Structure 1
Amino acid sequence: MTVCAIEMTTATAFTIAADGSYAARLAGTGEARYPERWTLSGPEPYAVPLPLAQPEEADSEVLPLADGRVLIHRRVAARHGFALLYPTGGADAGPRTGELPLGALDPGEGVRVALLPPSPDGRGAFALAVGATTTTVWQVTGGAFGPERVALVPGRCSGGVWLDRAGRLLALDRELEGGVKTVAVDLGRGGEVSPLLQITRDSQDRLLLADPDSGLLLIRSDAPGAPRLGWGVLGSSLPVRFPECLRTEGATAVPFAVQPGQALMPESCGVALRLADGALALWRPADRRLFRLGAPAGWLGGTGLWTPEGRLRLPYATPDVPCGLLATTLPAAPPPVRLEPPPQTAPRPVPLQQAPLAEV
């Protein structure tokens, strides 16, 4: 599956594991919040509560791993603690929650810390610590000795999009010298930073979503004169396009899932978007229209996942159905156009200076 970038100001309410097997959210209301894990890989979804002796704060973040454990990030004063939660107990003891502490960070005053989207390998988990002039990427699971610093990036960064299936290449939107550009951070080479998206010197360019299978990129930029939603192909020499059908909604729409398994065929990938009014929209680059749909009742977090077969599964919770998935599909795609494949090495910048400002 494909996971979109996160905003540093709010936690994602419902997070799906990289392989789509599990999901997690902070359930409950008010002062009675607790982590909840959803199992999505079976014939029917089901939820398992993971409460501890004390309720969780409303600003705690949860993130599911592919092995079924749930990472929780808690803030206590200036410290940020991390732990793994998992269901335990038996027939006599009843359901219980096990907790494995992973350590804590004390990043200093004025530094914001938030979890990044699940790593594509399903095992590691990372956090972004944003200071006044630098941003640190911390690996909080999958390492040997608790939280480990894996990259130090000059500038203030936000977002967070994985560019490969190994969890090595991470794209961040970096604010530096008054502008926002997307850079690629190679965690396998000590956090080496290279440009990824650059349109003009003064434009604000952000990467919202990426699919490693097809190389499809979803971006937002004000280079056309106003914030617009555009798409390109990772490592391709083809220009990025700003579709006319996305002009109205593109300034505020948030793409949250891309159909996987479409190798060499980015134009045929289904894309799901959450609109500003909470509605759902479906689109593919080969189309010249946006299919707007009503959001399901109880839709959680404006999230979902595509299957390789083209079914979009949307999580929802209502009083009658506390753990549900609603499936929908896009209309049949036109014949795909085969494009050059994404590179197997670190990506090079997309040539956005040649990008058309509207589709013909």
Structure 2
Amino acid sequence: MTACAIEAAVGGDGAARPKKFMITANGAYAARLAGNGEALYTERWTLDGPEPYAVPLPLDQPEDPDAQVLPLADGRVLISRRAATRQTFSLLYPTGPRTGELPLGAVESGSGGAAAELVLLPPSPDGTCAYAMAVGPDSTELWLVAGGAFGPERVAEIKGVCGGGVWLDRTGRMLALDRRLDDGPVKAVAVDLERGGEVTPLLQITEESDDRLLLADPDSGLLLIGSDAPSPGRERLGWGVLGSMRPVRFPECLRPADAEVLPFAVQPGQVLLPESCSVALRMDAGAGSWVGMWRPASRRLVQLAAPAGWLAGAGLWTPEGVLCLPYATESVPCGLAGLDVPEEPPEPAPVVEVCRPVPLGQAPLMGGKSRGGAAR
């Protein structure tokens, strides 16, 4: 259910920079950088009560536009800041009328060949740990930056240049990354954090195609995939099932001619029913952003207007099939709008430009607390 929204932020030099709205995996809390211009501060949203509400977490000085925030399941917010040659990490929390801050430590830039800055990965499903990724020219480091015993610690170094970041289970053990080796194509791989970052192939549609994992639902095994296998040079949105040897499918309805489409939330609780899962999609065109709803079992993409002030690209499904979209306006600074899935009879999904995945069914998600692959 985790998602993030990209908003426009303006730094001191006038350049546009991204601001993210991050939601915990259990949907209880969210966090973002709020404010205008250079007067930025961390803001925590509570989403699991009768009404959503926001708590500002300002400190004595405004936050830098490049700061990154990530909510934890206990209500604290992790903040990552750039400080000279280091990346520092702290936990923020409300304490009376003030903001409490617990420093966690720092990571020196360029450590072990890493890039100059660490990027926070989506909230871990366990709600207590937080991870960051540092991309170097030949390798990628994964760091546990919150939830460890002794401050930030490097947990894995992976050969190749990685991006993305999708959790494959409910325990925070298995992480999918999109990796490029040398000058080859991008392929999604599975990283086992309980086995020292052991890497195994997760998705390959053809040998030459770029195959990225965009979203995954551990309950049903539904995967949302971006690949240029059916249309070289242009990424298409498709779907598959973790642990299945059925082909990846690229429905025509997910290729509108006048908009870009990106999935951001999958309906949870549909155990072993991937074709029944509702998927929320962010749709972007010159006129703005709106919402798409789609199920693998349907031939239709339902398009709906988003609420005014929607933090575009953020939202979460309830198990009952209500899509909750966070929004902020001058009159409602913290709102959550619910959209119901339109009723429609299920139809068999058409197989369009089929490409067979190799080796989705061989992903090493077995044993311990993880699931998928041969364990399915």
TM-score strictly above 0.5: yes
Q: Give runs of aligned pairs for residues 1-360 of structure 1, distance below 5 A.
A: 1-3=1-3, 13-89=20-96, 95-108=97-110, 110-178=115-183, 179-225=185-231, 226-248=234-256, 252-277=260-285, 278-332=289-343, 334=345, 344-345=366-367, 347-348=372-373
Name the CA distance, whole Å, in 2 between partners of 1:5 and 1:215.
24
> What residue identity is the alignment partner of 2:99?
T
Q: In the TM superposition, what is the alpha-carbon distance from 1:300 to its structure 2 partner? A: 1.2
SS in 2 for 1:122: coil
SS in 2 for 1:267: helix
| Distance change (3 Å), C-alpha of 1:69 and 1:14 | same
SS in 1 for 2:156: strand
Asked if 1 retains the 8 angstrom alpha-carbon contact of 2:259 and 2:283, the reply is no
Name the CA distance, whole Å, in 1 between partners of 2:36 and 2:296.
39
Q: Deviations over 1:160-190 (max 9, x none)?
A: 0000000000000001132100000000111
Name the CA distance, whole Å, in 1 between partners of 2:120 and 2:216.
18
SS in 2 for 1:245: helix
SS in 1 for 2:178: strand
SS in 2 for 1:28: strand
Name the CA distance, whole Å, in 1 between partners of 2:251 and 2:131.
33
Please give the TM-score of this superposition, normalised by the length of structure 1. 0.89
Q: Deviations over 1:114-160 (max 9, x none)?
A: 10000001110000000110001101111100111111110010000
Runs of 4+ in structure 1 displaced over 6 angstroms? none
Q: In the TM superposition, what is the alpha-carbon distance from 1:254 to its structure 2 partner? A: 1.3
Q: In the TM superposition, what is the alpha-carbon distance from 1:5 to its structure 2 partner? A: 11
Q: In the TM superposition, what is the alpha-carbon distance from 1:250 to its structure 2 partner? A: 10
More displaced 10-residue stretch of structure 1: 277-286 or 260-269:
277-286
Q: Provide structure 2 residue ranges, at least 5 long, that are not aligned to the other structure.
A: 7-15, 349-360
Asked if 2 retains the 8 angstrom alpha-carbon contact of 1:200 and 1:223, the reply is yes
Q: Percent identity?
A: 67
Asked if 1 retains the 8 angstrom alpha-carbon contact of 2:298 and 2:346, the reply is no
Q: Deviations over 1:302-324 (max 9, x none)?
A: 20000000000000000110110
In proportion to residue count, which structure has more strand? 2
Q: Deviations over 1:174-232 (max 9, x none)?
A: 01132100000000111000000111222111100000000000000000023110000
CA RMSD of aligned residues (A): 2.3
Please give the TM-score of this superposition, normalised by the length of structure 2. 0.85
Q: In the TM superposition, what is the alpha-carbon distance from 1:252 to its structure 2 partner? A: 3.3
Q: Provide structure 1 residue ranges, at least 5 long, that are not aligned to the other structure.
A: 90-94, 350-360
Q: In the TM superposition, what is the alpha-carbon distance from 1:248 to its structure 2 partner? A: 2.3
Name the CA distance, whole Å, in 1 between partners of 2:182 and 2:208.
10
> What residue identity is the alignment partner of 1:315?
P
Q: Deviations over 1:63-93 (max 9, x none)?
A: 100000000011122211110000002xxxx
**Equivalences, count:** 339
Question: What is residue 351 of structure 2 aligned with on the other side?
Answer: none
Asked if 1 retains the 8 angstrom alpha-carbon contact of 2:115 and 2:134, the reply is no
Q: In the TM superposition, what is the alpha-carbon distance from 1:276 to its structure 2 partner? A: 2.1
Asked if 2 retains the 8 angstrom alpha-carbon contact of 1:235 and 1:347, the reply is yes
| Distance change (3 Å), C-alpha of 1:107 and 1:333 | farther
> What residue identity is the alignment partner of 2:319?
P
